[in-house]
Structure formats: C-alpha cells, structure tokens
Amino acid sequence: MFQYIVRRIFLSIPVLFGILLVTFALARLIPGDPCRAILGEKATQAVCDRFIREKGLDKPIYVQFGIYLGEIARGDFGNSIRFSMPVTRLLVERLPTTVELSFSALFVSMLIGIPLGILSAVKHNSWVDVLTMVWANTGVSMPVFWLGLMLAYFFSVILKDTPFWLPPSGRVSPGISAPPFNEVWGLTAQQGSALDAIYQFISRLNILNALLTANWELLKDAVQHLILPSLALGTIPMALIARMARSSMLEVLGQDYIRTARAKGLTQRMVVLKHAFRNSLLPLATVIGLSLGSLLGGAVLTETIFGLSGVGRTLFEAITARDYGIVQAFTVVIAVFFVVLNLIVDISYAYLDPRIRLE
C-alpha cells in the first residue's frame, strides 16, 4: 500500500510541472501590456522600463519561468493588481467560500444521489427506477447557470412570504454578527503569520465557525444561504452519482454471492447494505472524485449567479481584468487541488480493491 502511494505521488510530479508551465504560459499569452495593466494606463515609458527590469520581464522566457518557479516554491504568489494586496491573502479570504460551497454541493449530491441510485437498482424497472432515471438524465442536461437562476426565482420570488422563502444571493444576511472563533476562544496570532492565516481561513468557513462558536443564529442563516447554490451546483453530480450507484449496484446484485447471501436467509436490508453496497463503491468513488473537479468549474458560474466572492468568480474576473498575479496563483491552486484529488481517488481505489495495489 505504502509503495503504491509513493509511486502514485512520483507519477504526479511531471503533471504538476506541466500545470505550472501551462499556467505560466497562459498568463504570459494573455494579450495586453503587463506594465500598463499593473501600473495603469498613464505610466510613462521610463517608469515602464524600470518596472520591466525590476520584475525580470526583460530576461529570456526560460529565466522568467525559473524565477516564477522559485517564487512559488517560497509560497510567494506576488501581488494582485486590482486589490493591491498579496495574492495569498486574497486566497485566504476567498477560498473558504468556494470550499464551503463545493463541499456542501457534494454533500447534497451524495445524500440524495446514493440512496436514490440504490433504491432504483433494488426496485429495478419499477416506477421509482423510471422516475429516478428520467430525473437523472434531465439533471445532467441542465446548465448550472440556468438552474441557479430558476431556483433563485422560484424560492425567493414565487415563495416569498412563505416559510420556504430562501435568500437569492450572498453568504449571510446583513446584521448577523459572525465573530471569528479565535476571538471567541481568546486565541491570538501575530498579524500576517501563518497561524493567523489559518485562523482567518477557518473563521471564514461560516458553518464551521458557527459550530465552533455555538452561534446558532449564524448557522441557520448561513445554511439558508447555502441551500440554493448547493442545489444548483450539486444537481449534475447528484444525477451522475445516482446513475453510477444504480448501475454498479445492479451489476453487483446479479452476482452469485448475493444469491448465496439471500439463500442463507439474510434480510433484504442486510444483503443490500452490507453485501452489495460495499462492492459497488469503487465506480462510485471515481464519479465522486471526478465530480469534485467539475464542481470547481461550475463554481465560477454558481458564484457569479449567487453573488458569492469565491475563488471561481475572482479568477474569472481576474482573467478578464488581466490581473496576472491572481490568474497564476488561483489556477495553480485549483489545478493542484485537482491533482491531489485524483491522487486521493486512486489511493481510495487501492484501498477499496486490493487487486489494484498488487498489480
């Protein structure tokens, strides 16, 4: 097992290098003059010349790439032009929104998708099965941005003045106090230190922060705000998960050992949940892992629609505004996250199926 993990980690090194190369190349290829994009349209030629010399932009491209690699190795992503602050600080500020959104979307999609898939496999060809499949096919076909807007319209306009009303945008309602957990707990950290960044990151995860500080008002409000974006973002993975759960369950349920389990008089519940479900997990792990990746792409659209300033929307705005610092840093973070995710999926395969790690 350990050997397998080490081998997989080594295999992802060239991919990581490739990601850095592509990100660097894309950021350099974005049309426009970096100096005037950073210092403003009115920068004089002399100022620009000095800027280019200081930033090493006059050196050969491979030297620039080397400088870039060195900066990243030191955790220095440079400054954002538009926000004039270090990109890492911006990341600490924006990443929690996306993390919270992606995980709650994944949570919703697994919570509904897996039971639905199992149910429709167990009741194969019944109306439950047909309905689930019709719904799953529709689910994967809906554009995230449309679904989000329609949900917002339905829950905040049509259901206005009913108990089912949900807020159409933002993360918390104005006026809700959300003291960070470290202040409540009396923990302090030096401003700008790594510990401080970690505290900030955690306290910006509203739900976690609310739980840590026993702030039930904040918890309720944050959950209310999360429901619609999570549903919008979670629908496609939900449909994929339901479909995969159904088909892998069907395959497993047809096998001999299931018949044996039934023959020895186990209840349906035992057979399905203990014997069949475990073996249908492997393909499910693939779909869940791959969905997390598509969630990050979908987050751009969901965050735009629901007015959330997360990583996706910030990156999109940075690309259109040619904010190189943000583009390079955020893309790298997302892609690395993606690679790590694939690594976890692969390792979980090896854990779930011993045949893989022995190969």
Partner 1 sequence: MTNTDTQLATLDAEGLSLKSVSLWQITWRRLFKRKSAIVGLVILGILVVIALTAQWIAPYDPIKVLLGTEPVKPRQAPCIHLLGCPADQPQHIMGIDGNVRDQFSRLLYGARLSLMVGFSTVTFAIVIGTVLGALSGYFGGWIDNLIMRIMDVLLAFPSLLLAIAIVTVLGPGLINALLAIGIVSIPAYARVVRASVLSVREMDYVSATRALGGNPFQILFYRILPNALTPLIVQGTLGIATAILDAAALSFLGLGAQPPTPEWGSMLGAERNQVFTAPHLVFYPGAAIALTVLSFNLLGDGLRDALDPRLAHISG
- One-letter amino acid for residue 276 of the chain: A
Q: Does 260 bind partner 1 (CB under 8 A)?
A: no
Q: Does 61 bind partner 1 (CB under 8 A)?
A: no
88 and 328 in contact (C-beta within 8 Å)? Answer: no
- Map the footprint of partner 1 across residues 180-209, applying CB under 8 A: none
Which tokens sit at 350?
């090896």
Q: CB under 8 Å, gap of 24 or more: what pairs does 119-122 form?
A: 120/242, 120/246, 121/245, 121/246, 121/247, 121/249, 121/250, 121/253, 122/249, 122/253, 122/268, 122/272
Nearer to partner 1, 252 or 327 (CB): 327
The dihedrals phi and psi of 86, each to the nearest 5 degrees, come to -60, 140
Q: Does 44 bind partner 1 (CB under 8 A)?
A: no
Q: Does 14 bind partner 1 (CB under 8 A)?
A: yes
How many chain residues are in contact with partner 1, going by CB under 8 A?
49
329 and 12 in contact (C-beta within 8 Å)? Answer: no
Q: Does 250 bind partner 1 (CB under 8 A)?
A: no
Least Å distance, CB 14 to partner 1, is 5
* C-alpha span between 66 and 56 (Å, rounded): 11
* C-alpha span between 226 and 222 (Å, rounded): 6
Contact letters for partner 1, residues 331-350 (x by CB under 8 A): x--xx--xx--x--------
Q: Does 152 bind partner 1 (CB under 8 A)?
A: yes
User: How many residues comprise the chain?
Assistant: 359
Q: CB under 8 Å, gap of 24 or more: what pairs does 349-358 form?
A: 349/282, 349/285, 349/286, 350/1, 350/4, 350/5, 351/1, 352/281, 352/282, 352/285, 353/282, 356/4, 357/1, 357/4
Least Å distance, CB 270 to partner 1, is 30
Contact letters for partner 1, residues 101-140 (x by CB under 8 A): --------------------------------x---xx-x
Q: Does 304 bind partner 1 (CB under 8 A)?
A: yes
Out of 5, 55, 89, 156, point to the residue binding partner 1 (CB under 8 A): 156
Q: Does 296 bind partner 1 (CB under 8 A)?
A: yes
Nearer to partner 1, 22 or 61 (CB): 22
Positions in the binding site for partner 1 (CB under 8 A): 14-15, 18-19, 21-22, 26, 29-31, 133, 137-138, 140-147, 149-150, 152-153, 156-157, 168, 293-294, 296-298, 300-301, 304-305, 312, 315-316, 319-320, 327, 331, 334-335, 338-339, 342
